[in-house]
Amino acid sequence: MNKNIQSFCVGLESTLQDTIAKMNKNRMGVILVIDKDKRLLGTITDGDVRRAFLANFALLSSVTMVLEHKSNTQYATPLVAFDGQDKTVYLELLKTSRLSHLPILNEKKQVVGLVSSDDFVMESCSSLKAMVMAGGRGARLYPLTEDLPKPMLRVGDKPLLEIIIDQLKSLGIKNINVTMHHKAEKITEHFGNGDNFGVKLDYISENRPLGTAGALGLIKPGDETLLVINGDILTQVDFKAMHQFHREHEADLTVAVRKYDFQVPYGVIECDGPQVLYLKEKPVYSFFVNAGIYLLEPVVNQYIPKSERYDMTDLIQNLVSAGRRVISFPVHECWLDIGEHSDYNKAQEEAGKFVSQGSS
């Protein structure tokens, strides 16, 4: 049990930004909101934060607004346990509630600690299989990719693909498929069967480009949830939190999304026929864009054609049309898609944070 309550508690004066900063620091995926007497007022989980982003909450929104946003859900009233109870009670509560955290209160109902499912080695991503899409040609990065697949470009002292594999290994994911097409031998020569990197690698060769999802039709269907990540992404996204979010929403497919703001460089005029209604000077429009990270349940396999070109956009739209449950997972952590030379230069400048995370 973690008894350092300063590391996972905030007061009502705190903002969503304060909450995220503390959550990123403690890496526990939850923050407890307390009053001045340390009594529990509510909890804000990683999932609550991401749902707040989907609801267009600003970073300076108060934690009170976040708690109100979940007031009509089944998680509005926190499940708690009391100090001194047997650990088996904590474990049973976590199991039956399917929650990851349990606030611990004393007889005055003050917060004195926090129990995590990690304390019982319940939560793990080791049940996941992973697939890294590393078959792209990377034409926009020529001449760097003339003799190398884009995922083999070095960021710091490691190939990008090795950083991704390190991140997956740190989560306990040991079975990883890697799709290849352009200069595939460069990947197999570096990684072999994966033994030297602490994982088991299986390679899927595309004789011709199959799009962003076509290679999924080449792997043997399994019973596990599949984590798919594009091989040209550097990110500090919490994959474990994404997995928890995916399960909370009972999704068939979860797609990571990133908020993208676009400012129109002109004044925009709204008209009704010739009548001007209003003018907005250089308005900013916000969108959620695909971040290239997905979680797929086995049921999705039936929607993927075999040995045909097929894109993730097609798969997502077909699932939605079929009434399957497709969920978006907002990414607020560092994320960089290395598609242009400027992106690659930025990756080199920020290499330390990603390499150190992947190697931990």
What are the pLDDT digits (tens) for 208-242?
888 889 889 888 878 899 999 999 999 999 898 99
Overall average pLDDT of the 267-286 stretch: 94
State yes or no: pLDDT of 283 exceeds 70.
Answer: yes
Least confident of 13-17, 90-94, 162-166: 90-94
DSSP 107: T
pLDDT in tens, 317-339: 999 999 999 999 999 999 999 98
Round to the nearest angstrom and report the end-to-end CA distance of the chain.
Answer: 23
Name which of 74-78, 145-149, 186-190, 238-242 the model is least confident about: 74-78
Cβ–Cβ under 8 Å, residues 74 and 32: no
This prediction's pTM: 0.80
pLDDT band at residue 358 using 50, 70 and 90 as cut-offs: very low
The dihedral built from the CA positions of residue 214, 220, 226 and 228, taken in this order, carries a sign that is negative
Confidence label for 206 from pLDDT (cuts 50, 70 and 90): confident
Strands of the sheet containing 9-10, edge to edge, are: 9-10, 30-34, 40-45
Nearest 5°: the CA angle 324, 330, 335 is 125
Of 221 and 280, which is predicted with more confidence? 280
Instruction: Reply yes or no on whether the pLDDT at 314 is more than 90.
Output: yes
pLDDT-based confidence at 122, cuts 50/70/90? Answer: very low
**pLDDT band with cut points at 50, 70 and 90 for residue 360:** very low
Q: What is the pLDDT of residue 111?
A: 95
Do the beta carbons of residue 90 and residue 122 sit within 8 Å?
A: no
* 336 close to 350: Cβ distance less than 8 angstroms: yes
Burial class (CB in 10 A: 0-12, 13-18, 19+), 58: exposed
355 — pLDDT class (breaks 50, 70, 90): low
Per DSSP, the three-state class of 137 is coil
Residue 202 contacts residue 194 (beta carbons within 8 Å):
no
Percent of the chain topping pLDDT 70: 97
> Tell me: the pLDDT tens digits for 33-90?
999 999 999 999 999 999 999 999 999 999 999 999 998 887 788 999 999 888 888 8
Average pLDDT over all residues of the chain:
90
pLDDT for residue 124 = 58
The domains of the chain are located at 5-120, 129-359
Amino acid sitting at position 82: F
Q: Indicate the pLDDT class of residue 353, thresholds 50, 70 and 90.
A: confident
pLDDT at 194 over 90: yes
Distance, in Å, from the CA atom of 95 to the CA atom of 92, rounded to the nearest integer, reads 5
Q: Which fold would CATH assign to domain 5-120?
A: CBS-domain (3.10.580)
How many whole angstroms separate alpha carbon 8 and alpha carbon 5? Answer: 5
Q: 265 CB contacts (<8 Å, ≥6 apart)?
A: 282
Whether 235 and 214 have beta carbons less than 8 Å apart is answered as no
DSSP string, 213-261: TGGGGGSPP-SS-EEEEETTEEE---HHHHHHHHHHTT-SEEEEEEEEE
Question: What's the pLDDT tens digit per position in 14-32?
Answer: 999 999 999 988 888 899 9
Q: What angle do CA 78, 241, 224 make, to 5 degrees?
A: 115
321, 203 contact by CB (below 8 A): no
CA distance 28 to 45: 9
Residue 121 — very low, low, confident or very high, per pLDDT cuts 50/70/90? Answer: low
Q: With 90 as the cut, is the pLDDT of residue 256 above it?
A: yes
Q: CATH: 3.40.50.300, 3.90.1150.10, 1.10.1420.10, 3.90.550.10. Which one for 129-359?
A: 3.90.550.10
Residue 197, number of CB atoms within 10 A of its CB: 16
Position 161 scores a pLDDT of 96
Q: Which of 297, 340, 246 is nearest to 50 (CA)?
A: 246
d(CA 177, CA 200): 8
